[in-house]
Amino acid sequence: MAVQDKLGAEDLKQYYNAADGIRLSPGWLGGEEEASPELAPYLWRWSEVEPLVLKSGEVVTPDRDVERRTMRLATPGLKRGTTHTLIAALQLLLPGECAPAHRHTPTAIRWILKGHGAYTTVQGDKCYMEPGDLILTPSWTWHDHTNEGTEPMIWLDGLDVPLVRYLKANFYEPFPEDQQPVTGVGDSVRKYASGSLKPTWGEADAPYSPLWHYKWDRTYDALTNLAELGSDPFDDVSMEYTDPSTGGPVLRTMTCRIQLIRPGIQTKAHRHTSSKIYQVFRGSGYTVIDGQRFDWTEGDFFIVPSWAWHEHASTSDGEAILFSIQDIPIMKSMALYREEPYTEHAGHQPVTSQFNTGS
Ligand code: 1HN
């Protein structure tokens, strides 16, 4: 190396020792800075997850100590996270229970899986949860969950906790009462869910969508209408939930997507710089991730790490619907988002292995 030739071996050693003594590290000697852990894709089966989530009802009760009864999707290689930026957890709320009000800087979404008769209150707005609904809890908004029905309620929580912790910006505050005062019922839906119309007054200037409840019937209508018109080669009939005031993603750190894979469709492979957590809302099929085949069926969860090749396929006897959260908005805000199509083998990866739980 040219620089080293100028000093004798002894002087060079002294130089490095002196630098080390005052905590300077020569960049030209190589070595990596701290990096986030390498993640392998993973899949959780609903048939295995659901019984343990239901059983968690016998283990703890949400109160001011426990706050939330959640079971996290804990990816191998991470301590408690699901990807390096996001976590997903299954939350169970039994009839008559209330998960008390609080707020935190991490942003959350709820993707409702099972049950009826429970609601989440977000900043005073009571949102009744039905399967297939998406409910947002943007950064620093008050939220509490109550089940006034007769069935156990289960939903998926998605949060950007690992990212916010890494950025040292994690703050939390409990609300003085278990429930915050209710100021409206479904008001964000009534004001903003029409999509193409919004009130002329009270312009929201919050850094997130003023609509925070996306009802399943509208979502499914949108998907089936789009299915008649077109599709994406990598994701088939794929839609992004949007902030009606900007047309952009619903949250600053996470975007939520819903995609319908028509019966018998196999998409082409691509990769992009975002991490993704999927829930199989309906149907069955498989996803090939970096050459490994992950077979999935209704209710399963799986992750696709950043920059991993992936392609999806549904079985021929029915449509499949995948919900996902992805950290694309972070990557785009830093101009770090890139995407690449897989060009060999007509766009399909050779399958070299098959995922089994515990493998
Ligand atoms: C949280 O506040 C909720 O409010 C759910 O329902 C899951 C996981 C990690 C940190 C905070 C909730 C959470 C969470």
106 CA distance to ligand 1 middle (Å): 9
Q: Does residue 76 come out as left (phi exceeding 0), alpha (psi in the -120 to 50 range) or beta?
A: beta
Q: Is 282 in the pocket of ligand 1 (CB under 6 A)?
A: no
Contact by Cβ (8 Å): 276, 284: no
Averaged pLDDT, 269-298: 98
Sign, CA torsion 124/125/131/132 = negative
What atom of ligand 1 comes closest to residue 99's alpha carbon?
A: 6
Averaged pLDDT, 38-54: 97
149 pLDDT above the threshold of 90: yes
Residues 6+ apart with CB under 8 A from 292: 41, 351, 352, 353, 354, 355
What integer pLDDT is reported at residue 358 of this predicted model? 55
Predicted confidence band of residue 316 (pLDDT cuts 50, 70, 90): confident
Q: Quote the CA–CA distance of 169 and 351 in Å, as a whole number.
A: 41
Predicted confidence band of residue 1 (pLDDT cuts 50, 70, 90): low
**Locus of tokens 């030209």:** 28
Mean pLDDT for all residues in the chain: 95
Q: Is 165 in the pocket of ligand 1 (CB under 6 A)?
A: no
157 CA distance to ligand 1 middle (Å): 7
Q: Quote the CA–CA distance of 169 and 161 in Å, as a whole number.
A: 10
Averaged pLDDT, 46-62: 97
Q: Is 327 in the pocket of ligand 1 (CB under 6 A)?
A: no
Predicted confidence band of residue 245 (pLDDT cuts 50, 70, 90): confident
Among protein residues, the one whose CA lies closest to atom 1 of ligand 1: 68
107 CA distance to ligand 1 middle (Å): 9
What atom of ligand 1 comes closest to residue 120's alpha carbon?
A: 6
Averaged pLDDT, 224-250: 96
Q: Is 120 in the pocket of ligand 1 (CB under 6 A)?
A: no
Testing ligand 1's pocket by substitution, the residue of 68, 82, 86 carrying the most ligand atoms inside 8 A of its CB is 68
What atom of ligand 1 comes closest to residue 143's alpha carbon?
A: 4
Cα 108 to Cα 87, 89, 129, 160, 205: the distances in Å are: 10, 11, 15, 7, 19
Taking Cα atoms as reference points, which of 297, 317, 304, 312 lies closest to residue 50?
A: 297
Going along the chain from its start, the domains and CATH numbers come out as 42-354 (2.60.120.10)
250 pLDDT above the threshold of 90: yes
Among protein residues, the one whose CA lies closest to atom 6 of ligand 1: 68
139 pLDDT above the threshold of 70: yes
Predicted confidence band of residue 261 (pLDDT cuts 50, 70, 90): very high
Q: Is 45 in the pocket of ligand 1 (CB under 6 A)?
A: no
359 pLDDT above the threshold of 50: no
* Percent of the chain surpassing pLDDT 70: 97
User: What are 174's strand-pairing partners?
Assistant: 102
Q: Is 159 in the pocket of ligand 1 (CB under 6 A)?
A: yes
- Does pTM surpass 0.85? yes
132 pLDDT above the threshold of 60: yes
264 CA distance to ligand 1 middle (Å): 37
135 CA distance to ligand 1 middle (Å): 13
98 CA distance to ligand 1 middle (Å): 14
Q: Is 109 in the pocket of ligand 1 (CB under 6 A)?
A: no
